[in-house]
Structure 1
């Protein structure tokens, strides 16, 4: 099992650091499908941006914990925030025929990753887990 954990403040400028860390983590673990890595970066970007906007209301002094893990060709991303519990029923993609300039983050995430799930935690906050099979 390979793991790397990072902690950032909820500033949008730090999303690039997470994207780069994920990209190099995957490459260092012999995954070099550049197109898939790009799409995973995009999905990660959307997931973190959603935490910053919807959970933290752009408060830049909150923390976000991120863990990347590879075990038996399954790549997992754990995104932990410390905001209010979210209403999981409201976390869904909008209708793609409804043309707007935002609101496609969940759609992108579910198209890129094989699984998107919320884990119940007893403490304050939320834990989002994204999983992708990297193949053989």
Structure 2
């Protein structure tokens, strides 16, 4: 990351549905390229973002599969700390229930939370500010 690109922020809203996940990944890659994030790290971060967005679609909107709600993804870089925030109006997150399945349980799915925890330095669920219900914040320290 170059010094010229500190203190930047980009955000975009997406329809809360599986078909939007490709657009979330594309937006993330474009922002990380603009921020001049190392390509290897960039792909790890895109994976974490894609998993978090998928969890919003799958869990926060489980009871509302045909919603027209939108979620917002904001990516900010300040003083070599990358912050990725997700905002949605779905079912409130019960943080105590957020966990991944056993790693040695070989089957598809259920490891998104594990990948996010491995890639990111911190994961916080903050109270959503109006009109949002949920606000997930992922952070990663960047090294030059």
| Common topology (TM > 0.5) | yes
Paired with 1:26 and 1:19, the residues of 2 have a C-alpha distance of 11
Q: Which residue number corresponds to residue 86 of structure 1?
A: 93
User: For this pair of structures, how many residues does the alignment match?
Assistant: 135
Aligned residue for 2:102, secondary structure, equals coil
Aligned residue for 1:13, secondary structure, equals helix
Q: Which residue number corresponds to residue 4 of structure 2?
A: none
Instruction: Give the TM-score, by structure 1 length.
Output: 0.91
Q: Which residue number corresponds to residue 12 of structure 1?
A: 18
Unaligned stretches of 5+ in structure 1?
A: none
Q: Check if 1:39 corresponds to 2:47.
A: no
Q: Check if 1:119 corresponds to 2:133.
A: no
Q: Which residue number corresponds to residue 28 of structure 1?
A: 34
Q: How does 1:40-59 map to 2 (within 5 A)?
A: 40-57=45-62, 58-59=65-66
Match of 1:134 among 129, 133, 142: 142
Give the conservation status (yes or no) of the 8 Å contact 1:63–1:81.
Answer: yes
After superposition, the CA RMSD in angstroms is: 1.5
Cα pair distance change 1:2/1:122, threshold 3 Å: closer
Q: Cα offset for 1:60?
A: 4.2
